[in-house]
Amino acid sequence: MTNSPSANSRAGRREWTALAVLMLPLLLVSMDVSVLYFAIPSISADLEPTGTQQLWIFDIYAFVLAGLLMTMGSLGDRIGRRKLLMIGATAFGAASVCAAYANSAEMLIAARAILGIGGATLMPTTMALVRNMFRDDKQRATAIGIWSGVMTGGIALGSVMSGILVEHFWWGSVFLVNLPAMALLLLLAPVLLPEFKDPQPGRFDFLSVPLSMAAVLPLVYGIKEIPSEGFEPLYVASIVVGLVFGALFVRRQRTVESPMISPALFRGRGFGPAVTLNLISAFAMMGSAYFTTQYLQAVLGKSALEAALWALAPTVFIGLAAPVATVLVQRGVHRGSVVTAGFLTSACGYGLLTLTGTDSLWTVLAGAGVLASGAVIVGSQLTDLALGAAPAEKAGAASSLLETGQEFGGALGMAVLGSIGTAVYRHEIGDAPAEARETLGGALAVAQHLPGRAGDALLASAREAFTSGMHIAALAGGAVLLGAAVLALRGLRGVAAPQREEQREPERATA
């Protein structure tokens, strides 16, 4: 049946319990972004993949997820978000078993691809269901703050859990950890999660599916490869192809009767600025991660597990950022001012990164923590703004746009800031062997084969050069964030909270 509750309806215990259930798939999907960090050496020894296969074992999950987010968000609006969530959870669980017991690199790549498909169904549906279950502005803001915190924490937790599991079990255990949570989700979802879908979805536009994938996948691929491989013709051509298909996708959405992503979404007050500013926030967050992860391991000499554990140090403060921002907005502070403050906070984090030397553990942790705290403030507020501005029946499509923007922003951050850091590194390291001039990792490998002082000198020079590159990239990232702060102050003027409008509620099926 169609349920049209009043605008003042508040969520009760059932909805908050359902939110806890929704956090299960979200945590696992975010963990799978980083879960292979420590498992890959064992996988390489067991399955003996080629260099190209090893890269695809890493990357295929994120590529497939990014390519299908818009498709799955729109599909959930049509067939029902709970239904798609359960289908995705089933696929995610089955693919986890296949990945855990893969006996070849090809099988593991295929399983990771299916995990990406499952992840693409889970991410937008969890966010859309939060939008539908929490119609009260204050409650929705709190729920989205929790969503953002779990998402951020999952990425950090994935690498640590991977290291612990691989140390005590075999590499397949990093995938099997998904099964209990997915089983619990499938058991509880029909009981606790309401079903929502667009009561008048129109026909599904199948042509938009390949167009969206042909736009997203080449763009993400080209942008991701440029920091490590440079502006090679293949990667530039990949970006051009993605832009061409992106233009075709946008044109079709404007002309087809039932678009996958309705252009009307951008007429919602604050939706367009929220998507754009969220992309910039992801740019800053992932751009900094490109340097801080390498700094902890290659400059400070921490093991991968030690680096992951140290990276958890500031997470308590990061976890408090979204709730504090939510309370400020609920007490009357202008949302645009809070988002601006978040960008300025992240800019201060980049400022701290410019102060690091080659032995500045606490400075780099403080910088990364301050930067991430600002990003969480921005992300939680912009997500709430965008979902509140979107019609409830289009919550899945709105969620998928936000998350696709985050994928692009993260890839751009690594590409742009990574390229700046690499250029400075190559300039600063001077007349070093060719392999050492390429990357800090290459310099570490070369230094191991040089005698005594020569190896130490190269190592010191490479670490200094990398740190200098991080400084310049941090200045560039800080400048971008200062610009974003100005855009937020101007673009979100008058948008203190989502405006309540009379709109058609999605169909809510009674369980």
What is the token pair recorded at 463?
Answer: 């670490």
Residue 172, in any domain of the structure: yes
DSSP symbols for 3-53? ----TT----HHHHHHHHHHHHHHHHHHHTTTTTTTTHHHHHHHH---HHH
Residues 248 and 338 in one domain: no
Q: Are residues 33 and 105 in the same domain?
A: yes
157 plus 240 within the same structural domain: no
What is the predicted pLDDT for the residue at 37?
A: 67
Predicted local confidence at residue 349, as pLDDT: 94
CATH code where residue 387 lies:
1.20.1250.20
Task: Give mean pLDDT, residues 406-418.
Answer: 81
Average pLDDT over residues 153-176: 78
Q: Two tokens at 375? A: 């990003």
In a domain, 6, yes or no: no
Examine residue 263 and state whether it is found in any structural domain, yes or no.
no
**DSSP string across 126-142:** HHHHHHHH--SHHHHHH
**What's the CA gap between 405 and 156, in Å, rounded?**
21
Residue 509 lies in a domain: no
Written as six digits, the tokens of 269 are 């007050």
Same domain, 394 and 425: yes
Q: Which residues pair with 197 in a beta bridge?
A: 507
pLDDT digits (tens, 9 = 90+) for 456-505: 888 888 889 889 999 999 999 999 999 999 989 888 876 655 444 444 44
Total number of domains in the chain = 3
Q: Which run of H or of E encompasses 122?
A: helix 105-133
> 170-174, 299-303, 442-446: which range is least confident on average?
442-446
Residue 438 domain-assigned (yes or no)? yes
Q: What is the pLDDT of residues 108-127, one digit of tens each?
A: 999 989 998 888 888 888 88
pLDDT top residue among 114 and 399: 114
Higher pLDDT residue, 114 or 312? 114
**Bridge partners, 195 (sequence order):** 509
- Whether 217 shows a pLDDT value over 70: the answer reads yes
Angle formed by the axes of helices 361-389 and 315-330, nearest 10°: 40
The reply to whether 49 and 119 lie within a common domain is yes
pLDDT of 499 reads 44
Q: Residue 305 half-sphere exposure, CB side, CA atoms within 13 Å? A: 11
Do 145 and 230 reside in the same domain of the chain?
Answer: no
pLDDT of amino acid 507: 52
* Same-domain pairing of 359 and 458: yes
Residue 439 is assigned to a structural domain of this protein: yes
pTM: 0.80
**Residue 171 clears pLDDT 80, i.e. is over it:** yes
pLDDT-derived band at 304 (thresholds 50, 70, 90) equals confident
Report which residue type is found at 228.
S
Claim to verify: residue 108 and residue 129 sit in the same structural domain: yes
Cα angle: 79, vertex 123, 266; to 5 degrees: 75
Query: Rounded to the nearest 10 degrees, how much is the dihedral formed by the CA atoms of 216, 218, 219, 225?
Result: 140
CA distance 499 to 389: 7
Name 507's bridge partners: 2, 197
Who's near 277: CB < 8 A, 6+ residues apart? 339, 343, 378, 382, 484, 487, 488, 491, 492
Give whole-number Cα distances, 89 to 82, 176, 197, 407, in Å: 10, 14, 18, 21
Q: Which helix (H) or strand (E) covers residue 507, if one does?
A: strand 507-509
Q: Is the pLDDT of residue 426 over 50?
A: yes
Instruction: Specify whether 189 is located in the same domain as 54.
Output: yes
Task: Give the CA distances from residue 380 to residues 322, 329, 482, in Å, rounded to whole numbers and listed in that order.
Answer: 6, 11, 19
103 and 236 share one domain: no
DSSP per position, 235-251 = HHHHHHHHHHHHHHHHH
Neighbours of 32 (CB within 10 A): 27
> What tokens were used for 286?
């992932």
Do 185 and 220 have their domain in common? no
270-278 average pLDDT score: 86
Mean pLDDT of the chain: 81
Q: Which of 204, 226, 243 is the last residue of a domain?
A: 204
Residue 401 has pLDDT above 50, yes or no: yes
How many residues are listed for the chain in this entry? 511
Residue 506 — pLDDT band, cuts 50, 70, 90? low
pLDDT at 74 over 90: no
Specify if 131 maps to a domain: yes
Residue 3 covered by a domain = no
Question: Could you tell me which of 272, 384, 249, 369 has the C-alpha nearest to residue 316?
Answer: 369
Q: What is the pLDDT of residue 509?
A: 55
In this predicted structure, which of 74-88, 399-413, 437-451 has the lowest mean pLDDT?
Answer: 437-451
Q: Which residue has the tokens 């990949």?
A: 238
Q: Are residues 150 and 291 in the same domain?
A: no
**Structural domain span for residue 189:** 11-204
